[in-house]
Amino acid sequence: MGVLYLMSAGSSARKAGPRIVVEKNSEVLGRLPVRSIDGVVVGRNAQVSTQTIFELMELRIPIFYIDGRGKIIGHFVNEKLSATRLLRQLEIFRDFEKQLELSREIIAEKISNQRDLLKRYEKTVGAEKLDQFTKKLKQAADKLAALQTLDELRGAEGLASKIYFATFAELLDQNRWKWKERSQHPARDPINALLNYGYAFLEREVRIAAAINGMDARIGFFHSNDGRKDSLIFDLMELFRQPVIDRFILSLLNKKMIQPEHFTSTPDECRLSDDGRIVFCNRYEEYMAKIYREYGGKNSRDLIFERVKKFSAYLNR
């Protein structure tokens, strides 16, 4: 079982009995049992038949439409929402003390994840090169308890991220990859393009986990509930950026699975090429299915689901 990616121009999917026929430019690439599919990701220039969409929705298989940057444009996800749970979520997230408590916990966990990832590289990079950064991150975490407003916590999170990303030049082959700083929108270099693309995939994973666990994506506690984005999803994503996506991106680069020629650049932006996206998607699914001992014998997808489930249980206490 896995995710079906329809990313290339001319690719399409149509229903034929109990199977989905995948084609590219009218050439059949494969026939998949519908129930073997965990999700479908559709690019701008791909097509999915209406009958296929109906079948997937009836079976509660999520469908995501993404742009060339990997950003989710729209989706069909089965959501198990109830009025009772929605009201409970609103009640908790409108409580200022609860907002602070949850935000503090999320940021503390994120900083801990940043430190853990850096420690994984101590043997290959040299502990002396990373020690100053891990110490600064610990200092940032130690100060969280004294912060009394969301803005202060957001400032602490931003500072910790700046410290963390300052290490990336040390974690990569500097002859092959050049790193200056984190640049989100637009990405200015291949590393930032990969991070943006990876975080868009993480958003999809978290949306599915949140929907299955009956939470309303729109109502968060750390990111602003201003209607511009689904705040809860971005709140929960903070828990998985380092242990799931950053770990994957650094592995792709250091194992030379992604090459400089897998990117296209303009004066304004750097993006993965079509070939680069294919490599990314293939490696991503392999990575998400891999079992890790430090995750308690779970894979990364299970890790996300179980952590979101635990958070959802908190709302029902």
Residues 29 and 168 in one domain: no
Residues 56 and 91 in one domain: no
- For residue 186 the two structure tokens come to 């637009």
Instruction: Confirm whether 215 is domain-assigned.
Output: yes
Instruction: Confirm whether 78 is domain-assigned.
Output: no
The rounded distance, in Å, linking the Cα atoms of 307 and 240 is 9
Residue 75: per-residue pLDDT: 84
Instruction: Confirm whether 261 is domain-assigned.
Output: yes
Q: Is the peptide bond before 186 cis (omega within 30 degrees of 0)?
A: yes
Between 233 and 83, the higher pLDDT residue: 233
Average pLDDT over residues 155-169: 95
Instruction: Confirm whether 75 is domain-assigned.
Output: no
Residues 26 and 128 in one domain: no
Residue 102: per-residue pLDDT: 92
Confidence check: pLDDT of 228 > 70: no
The rounded distance, in Å, linking the Cα atoms of 89 and 78 is 19
The rounded distance, in Å, linking the Cα atoms of 97 and 77 is 31
User: Tell me, what CATH number does 226's domain have?
Assistant: 1.20.120.920
The pLDDT tens digits of the residues spanning 239-262 come to 999 999 999 999 999 999 999 999
Mean residue pLDDT of the chain comes to 90
Average pLDDT over residues 156-160: 96
Q: Which domain holds residue 20?
A: 2-61
Residues 252 and 111 in one domain: yes
Confidence check: pLDDT of 226 > 70: no
The three-class DSSP label of residue 42 is strand
The pLDDT tens digits of the residues spanning 81-101 come to 667 777 888 888 888 999 999
User: Tell me, what CATH number does 14's domain have?
Assistant: 3.100.10.20
Residues 281 and 215 in one domain: yes
Residues 98 and 139 in one domain: yes
Residues 276 and 128 in one domain: yes
Instruction: Confirm whether 66 is domain-assigned.
Output: no
Instruction: Confirm whether 208 is domain-assigned.
Output: yes
Number of folded domains that form the chain? 2
The rounded distance, in Å, linking the Cα atoms of 47 and 37 is 17
Residue 317: per-residue pLDDT: 66
pTM for the whole structure: 0.87
Average pLDDT over residues 219-224: 84
Residue 1: per-residue pLDDT: 58
Confidence check: pLDDT of 22 > 70: yes
